[in-house]
Amino acid sequence: MKSRTIRALQGAGAACAGLAALAACGPGGATTAGGRPTFEGRGPITYVAGKDASGSIQAVIDRWNKRHPKEKVTFVQLPTDPDAQREQMIQNAQTKSDAYTVLALDAVWTSEFAAHRWVDRLPEEQFPLRQMLKPIVETGKYRGGLYALPFSSDGGMLYYRTDLLKKAGIAEPPATWAEMKADCAKVKRLPEARGMSCYAGQFQKYEGLTVNFAEAVNSAGGVVTDAKGNPHVDTPQAKRGLDFLVNSFKDGTIPRDAVTYQEEDGRRDFQAGKLVFLRNWPYAYPLMAQKDDANKVAGHFRAAPLPGLNGPGASSLGGHNLALSASAENKATAIDFMKFLASQEIQRFTLSRAPGAPTYDALYKDPKLVKQYPYLPTLKQSILHAVPRPRVFRYGDVTAAIQQQAYAALTGSTSSAQALKDLQQTLRQQAAGE
């Protein structure tokens, strides 16, 4: 495994050596223009993140350490649970510790970390942001300033069964919810579709529900919060979005069990041949493509952009960005390392090892990568139409309120109108309290 890593890196290395050398050797690397804080100090630093699934991060860090023996990077691995990651990072900030230098922040934490000044504002002009997809760059910004450098992204897609759709005489994947339901009705008339359900997403009461709720609202033309953080969930558009989910539960389009589903539950059902359509992230693609006796969909599925009310829907954005802990030392080294880690070449390398959503436009067109991950062009469309989840500094409260009301509506304990009315009120109170 190691030798493969090194070999793969050699190709990437040649390209990014120039990039890193530019940043690391120039004296300008340590200071920024415009009276903004300077990033000084060189020496050992840490990179703090949950375990990276592909196992390629350590190889990338080794590569850096070989070239920068006096500015070594140590990988501080946090628990896999995102809440635990966030808590550890906040603890580090509270104790003003220098143990953490470069943080891998979940895209939705940017505002909170920036507003508390736990992370430094970054020198925007030093990063190749223009080569990245714009909605992704926005996830790293707070009030116009860049606080987190886009490192990886994620977007939702509609996985569908090509074999069943074809048999039912459907040529194109559905672009709207109505089409999806109609397609389902046709598919379910097939003998091999007996007992199948139509659609599932993530509806357990957790962050995934916020994602699915926001996608439904956005796909119906509504917004959860506007650019200033003000809530708008009591609109007819928002209601049509939530009603799609609520009614789908009622009429059985979504199986009743899905109210307990996270990403993996839906993927398992899809692979077991229980679902015609599934909303999920790109990570599922290679798993579904794996030939295996327990996997019924290998070679019989594809991914399309999410459907919406009157046309293609809008995805939420996931992913992780790189931020610089305010209490860290050796910040000049840290900035260089962030440039290195977020470079196109490194992303190409990590993507070649594990599925994901790169931040660079060019990688979505790369023929080799597209061959490896046929979902890339679809994902790019998904991300270009994506609406970020609410960008407010108390994101935890906002997502809790959304989950509370959306879950109540989906389980039928309140009507969607009442749930949205209550949600609007809670979100407005939260916004006023800020």
Q: Does 116 bind another protein (CB under 8 A)?
A: yes
What minimum distance in Å lies between the beta carbon of 99 and another protein? 5
Q: Does 77 bind another protein (CB under 8 A)?
A: yes
Q: Does 97 bind another protein (CB under 8 A)?
A: yes
**H or E stretch including 14?**
helix 2-25
Q: Which residue has 């979940």 as its token pair? A: 106
Q: Does 94 bind another protein (CB under 8 A)?
A: yes
Q: Does 268 bind another protein (CB under 8 A)?
A: yes
Whole-angstrom Cα distance, residue 409 to residue 205? 12
- Beta carbons within 8 Å of 77's beta carbon, 6+ residues apart: 49, 50, 51
What minimum distance in Å lies between the beta carbon of 157 and another protein? 14
Q: 189 burial class (0-12, 13-18, 19+ CB within 10 angstroms)?
A: exposed
Structure tokens at 107: 């895209």
Identify the residue among 15, 30, 115, 370 touching another protein (CB under 8 A).
115
Whole-angstrom Cα distance, residue 332 to residue 339? 11
Using CB under 8 A, count the residues that bind another protein.
67
- What residue spans of 26-115 are helical by DSSP H? 57-67, 82-94, 110-115
Residue placing its CB nearer to another protein in the complex, 76 or 384: 76
Residue placing its CB nearer to another protein in the complex, 6 or 22: 6
What minimum distance in Å lies between the beta carbon of 228 and another protein? 11
Question: How many other CB atoms are there within 10 angstroms of residue 39's CB atom?
Answer: 23
Amino acid 342 reads A
- Measure CA of the first residue to CA of the last residue in the chain; give whole Å: 50
What minimum distance in Å lies between the beta carbon of 137 and another protein? 18
Which range of residues in 156-164, 238-246, 365-373, 390-398 is near another protein by CB under 8 A? 390-398
Identify the residue among 30, 58, 230, 381 touching another protein (CB under 8 A).
58
Q: Does 4 bind another protein (CB under 8 A)?
A: no
- Beta carbons within 8 Å of 319's beta carbon, 6+ residues apart: 106, 107, 136, 139, 150, 151, 152, 153, 154, 357, 359
Q: 379: closest CA among 403, 396, 360?
A: 360
What minimum distance in Å lies between the beta carbon of 115 and another protein? 5
Whole-angstrom Cα distance, residue 375 to residue 367? 12
Residue placing its CB nearer to another protein in the complex, 281 or 373: 281
Q: Does 6 bind another protein (CB under 8 A)?
A: no
Q: Does 257 bind another protein (CB under 8 A)?
A: yes
Show the 3-state SS of 218-280. HHCCCCCECCCCCECCCCHHHHHHHHHHHHHHHCCCCCHHHHHCCHHHHHHHHHCCCEEEEEE
Whole-angstrom Cα distance, residue 85 to residue 49? 7
What minimum distance in Å lies between the beta carbon of 263 and another protein? 4
Which range of residues in 36-44, 89-97, 192-200, 335-343 is near another protein by CB under 8 A? 89-97
Contact positions with another protein (CB under 8 A) in 24-43: none
Contact positions with another protein (CB under 8 A) in 347-386: 354-355
Identify the residue among 83, 192, 226, 251 touching another protein (CB under 8 A).
83
Q: Does 300 bind another protein (CB under 8 A)?
A: no
Query: For the window 206-245, what string marks contact with another protein as x by the rule CB under 8 A?
Result: x---------------------------------------
Residue placing its CB nearer to another protein in the complex, 203 or 337: 203
Whole-angstrom Cα distance, residue 396 to residue 394? 5
Q: 332: closest CA among 9, 12, 70?
A: 70
Q: Does 143 bind another protein (CB under 8 A)?
A: yes
Q: Does 310 bind another protein (CB under 8 A)?
A: no
Structure tokens at 7: 């070999």
Residue placing its CB nearer to another protein in the complex, 38 or 413: 413
Q: Does 418 bind another protein (CB under 8 A)?
A: no
Whole-angstrom Cα distance, residue 56 to residue 76? 15
Residue placing its CB nearer to another protein in the complex, 236 or 292: 292
Residue 409 contacts residue 213 (beta carbons within 8 Å): no
Whole-angstrom Cα distance, residue 235 to residue 123? 39
Residue placing its CB nearer to another protein in the complex, 94 or 310: 94
Structure tokens at 310: 């009157």
The contact set with another protein (CB under 8 A) reads 46, 50-53, 55, 58, 76-84, 86-88, 90-91, 94-95, 97, 99-100, 112, 114-117, 142-143, 204-206, 256-257, 259-260, 262-265, 268, 281, 283-284, 287, 290, 292-295, 354-355, 393-394, 396-397, 400, 403-404, 411, 413, 433-434
